[in-house]
């Protein structure tokens, strides 16, 4: 069944919590797919392979995630570490795409 999960505040059972987590995970996967589509676009647009890695942009993205986490009351350092991994994985993917399309 593909029903809408309850909001966290409306959950009364662990089954409801798990349904919400599972739905959220599916939504995150769709967002990751979208993010990686942008990596493919970047690989297509960037004329030079060396332009794929942009340390200033990487730092800005991670800092923004940390600031967003802090505002949301989430663990800033852990979110920044997660984003570090996400950005590095994105860079690796973009490099593969750049190589594949040239």
* 12 annotated ligand binder: no
- Rounded average pLDDT over 73-81: 98
Domains detected in the chain: 8-100 (1.20.59.10)
Give me the sign of the Cα torsion angle 40, 42, 48, 50: negative
* 57 annotated ligand binder: no
**What is the structure's pLDDT at 2?**
64
29-40 pLDDT per residue, tens: 999 999 999 999
9-22 pLDDT per residue, tens: 999 999 999 999 99
Are 20 and 5 in contact, with CB atoms under 8 Å apart?
yes
Position 1 pLDDT exceeds 60: no
- Rounded average pLDDT over 54-82: 98
Position 27 pLDDT exceeds 80: yes
Question: Within 13 Å of residue 15, how many CA atoms lie on the same side as its CB?
Answer: 0
* 35 annotated ligand binder: yes
User: How large is the C-alpha radius of gyration of the chain?
Assistant: 17
* 18 annotated ligand binder: yes
Distance between CA 59 and CA 55 in Å, rounded? 6
């Amino acid at each position: 069944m593909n029903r809408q999960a309850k909001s966290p505040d409306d959950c009364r059972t662990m089954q409801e919590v798990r349904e919400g987590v599972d739905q959220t995970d599916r939504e995150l996967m769709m967002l990751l797919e979208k993010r990686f589509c942008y990596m493919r676009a970047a690989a297509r647009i960037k004329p030079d392979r060396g332009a794929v890695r942009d340390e200033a942009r990487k730092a800005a993205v991670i800092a923004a995630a940390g600031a967003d986490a802090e505002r949301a009351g989430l663990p800033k350092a852990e979110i920044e570490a997660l984003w570090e991994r996400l950005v590095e994985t994105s860079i690796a993917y973009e490099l593969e795409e750049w190589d594949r399309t040239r």
